[in-house]
Structure 1
Amino acid sequence: MLTILVPMSGIGYERGTPFLLARLGSLAARAWTAFLADYGITQTQHAVMIAIREQGPVGQRRLAELAAMDARNIVAVLDSLTAAGLAERGPHDTDRRRRVVSLTASGTRLINTIGQAAAHGQDHFLRSLSPAERDHLNDLLQRLYNAHVHA
């Protein structure tokens, strides 16, 4: 049996920031995965589609970097997006050996639809906070993220 000692004074672990962030992160991740599944895509596919939308037509290796993926794994993700008619591969303008990836019209529509619906979902998730509190929370979380990722 696992015994967890909670200090008698101060805040117990279940009220501490790391615990709460982990729990909320888990809730948000499950909700996000289910949300994307309703649109027929995975989190990885979504990340790749966002990177393509933000960069425009892009090479596969650079796309893997932008989506924070191993370059060996991007091919399977692109195969699935291509098979679904959401992305397409084509020749590079100046280097015939390279291939560039772009979103199809269907892919662009889907990613825009997801973005609009996600904004509504975020409002629902954060409904207990005022707009100012939401902005403040986001600023604090961004600072924490940057401190740990860019350190």
Structure 2
Amino acid sequence: MNAELADTLETDPLDRLGFLLARHGAIVSSRMEHAFALCGLTLRQGATLILLGRSGNMSQQGVAGALEVDPSVLCGILNDLESTQFVERRRDPADRRRHIVAITEEGGRVLAKAQEAIEKVERELFADLTAEELATLRDLLSRVRTSKGDIACTER
């Protein structure tokens, strides 16, 4: 065990990194869920629209891989997004077994509204951090050891 980790273990239990990450993670998750809910979306639906808004369209399998969700879970997310006409699925003309998922105009409008809500949440959360500190935080969090098999989020 390295000396820094040993020092951390001897501090106040509420200051342990795992606890702090869990606490702040829960708060951030709650605020993000609220921001998406204002737009009529769940967190996973919002993440799906963000991905499709960036990529234009993708295969259904590609969306599942990018979001790291089981294809059966993605099917439910896409069913809900399709019923609100935020996305559309169509067969890939090059391979009729594949479905292509695309964001619709209405989905683009909802996505713009959701992105504004998310940006507001992030401005509030990170108001006391400089751009350099945010870059450092992003880098450090990307190096925390988790695996694709870990459960990242749940729908409530």
SS of the residue corresponding to residue 95 of structure 2 reads: coil
Residues 86 and 105, structure 2, Cα contact 8 Å, conserved in 1: yes
Contact 2:35–2:117, Cα closer than 8 Å, also in 1: no
- What is the Cα deviation at residue 82 of structure 1? 0.8
SS at match of 2:89: strand
> What letter is aligned with 1:69?
V
Q: TM-score, normalised by structure 1?
A: 0.80
Q: Work out whether 1:13 is the aligned partner of 2:13.
A: yes
Percent of aligned positions that are identical = 26
The higher-RCO structure (CA 8 Å, 6+ apart) is 2
CA distance in 2, matches of 1:57, 1:131: 31
Partner SS, residue 98 of structure 1: strand
How far 1:93 sits from its partner (Å)?
2.6
- After TM superposition, the structure 1 = structure 2 runs for residues 1-151 of structure 1, keeping only pairs within 5 Å, are 10-144=10-144, 147-149=145-147
1:102 and 1:128, CA in 2 relative to 1: closer, same or farther beyond 3 A? Answer: same
The CA distance in 2 between the partners of 1:130 and 1:55, in whole Å, is 29
Q: Give ranges in structure 2 of 5+ residues lacking alignment.
A: 1-8, 149-156
Partners of 1:72 and 1:134 in 2: how far apart? 35
- Paired with 2:42 and 2:66, the residues of 1 have a C-alpha distance of 17
Between structure 1 and structure 2, the one with the greater Rg is: 1
Change (3 A) 1:15 1:61: same
Report how far residue 48 of structure 1 moved: 1.8
1:33 and 1:21 map into 2 onto residues whose CA distance is: 17
Which stretch shifts more, 89-98 or 23-32? 89-98
The 1-side partners of 2:37 and 2:114 are apart by 11
Deviation at 1:92, TM superposition (A): 1.0
Q: Runs of at least 4 residues of structure 1 off by over 4 A?
A: none
Consecutive unaligned residues of structure 1, counting only runs of 5 or more, are 1-8
CA deviation profile, 1:106-129 (whole Å, cap 9, x unmatched): 112222332233122201111232
TM-score (norm 2): 0.78
CA positional deviation for 1:23: 0.7
